[in-house]
Amino acid sequence: MTTQAPGGALDGLRVLDMSRVMAGPLAGQILADLGADVIKVERPGRGDDTREWAPPFVADPPPRPLDDSVCFWTCNRGKRSVVADIAVPEGQALVARLAATSDVLIENYKVGTLAKYGLDYPTLSAANPRLVYCSITGFGQTGPYAPRPGYDTIVQGMGGLMSITGNPDDAPGGGPRKSGIAVADQMTALYADVAILAALRERDRSGLGQHIDMALLDVQVAGLTNLGLGYLATGRVPPRAGNRLATVYPSDSFRCADGDLMIIVGNDAQFRSFCAALRMPEVSADARFARNAGRLRHADVLAPLIGQALRDRSLAECQALFDAAGVPASPINTLAQVFADPQVIARGLVREVARPDGPPVRVIANPIRMSRTPPRSDRPAPRLGEHTDEVAAKLP
């Protein structure tokens, strides 16, 4: 039997979070979930931009609209909030004192902004050489686009993701589409945390921090993975293919009698099992479909045959057939169905967060599972400036 350790994996780590909106704040929240003391520096009066990105609110009616935005709660759980106006000497001095006692600083200001206030990496690292300073911007600290502002969807477009997402131009609803979530922001947050933890590990050897330069565009280009590498290898621009994968087939969504089903058949043996489950021996025996390359080549022939076999069956019947056959399949769920799903419930992916001055808030839990030092998802997002006096009083 495994016994949980008394604290989080990152207990004792202090993070100064000077970022706003999503990529930087999410990186900070993940570190907070893992036990770090994350101090969020916000502008007086209004705070992080996402405090005003509402409705929706986490409570209806919201006890404090500026503190109850769903967007703000998404990326700021478990932090402490300090207000500081970095445009004035007093605010600059407070941030500098915080940085002097911090292990990590995360910021996502436009390139050069913090240097104007003496809060850039060269200045702060001179006072604290152990500081790991992570800058997150749309396009990085160098290159012709470095001065530009950049949001997630801008980068999805520029980084190629929208060009490969959606239906083909000649299909109904064809044309480039953005992802339903801020995927570039979220990937950047994860890469930033990997870089931060790597820099801290290296600091254990050298005793020195370093500057991390994270760009949403860099991350989005890296996220092109096999499709990007395929272009580099062949020079062929991949077309949009709707819900199909470019690498295996069947891999598509199909309409059943009571909803839509996603199916991915990953190899030839699975295809034979798939055909047996649907009682399609003639399809299994067709030489055009015997190997994955042929199924990809003849996908437009194979797709309607599968659609015909599925259209009168219920989702539950199809799921049972494919589970028994070992074929990966799932319904395409609405969010209501997601949060009612027994697997999601069993994994504890929804947690209730208590707060002293408002109703409890249901949040999506951190998905990391660790046997001794599990992350926490039970601490509220802070009120604007809630911890300013508490934090300032303990500074040297």
Active-site annotation, residues: 185
How many other CB atoms sit within 10 Å of the CB of residue 371? 9
d(CA 86, CA 355): 29
Locate tokens 């060009």: which residue? 163
Nearest to 106 by CA among 206, 13, 201: 13
How far is Cα 293 from Cα 296, in angstroms, rounded to an integer? 5
Whether residue 297 contacts residue 249, with contact meaning beta carbons closer than 8 Å, is answered with no
Residue 8 contacts residue 35 (beta carbons within 8 Å): yes
* Spatial strand order in the sheet of 14-17: 80-83, 37-42, 14-17, 104-107, 132-137, 211-215
- Interior CA angle at 154 toward 150 and 158, to 5°? 110
Q: What is the DSSP letter of 139?
A: S
**Packed helices 315-325 and 268-277: angle between N→C axes, nearest 10 degrees:** 130
User: Rounded to an integer, what distance in angstroms lies between the CA atom of residue 382 and that of residue 41?
Assistant: 11
- Helices 183-206 and 23-33: crossing angle in degrees, nearest 10, is 60
Strand order in the sheet with 259-264: 251-256, 259-264, 329-331
**Cα–chain-centroid distance for residue 25?**
11
Following DSSP, what letter does each residue of 281-293 receive, concatenated? HHHHH-GGGSSHH
Q: Give the Cα-Cα-Cα angle 134, 137, 140 (nearest 5 degrees).
A: 90
Which residue has 């990105």 as its token pair? 53
Sequence-distant (6+) residues with CB within 8 A of 314 are 256, 257, 258
> Rounded to an integer, what distance in angstroms lies between the CA atom of residue 313 and that of residue 376?
42
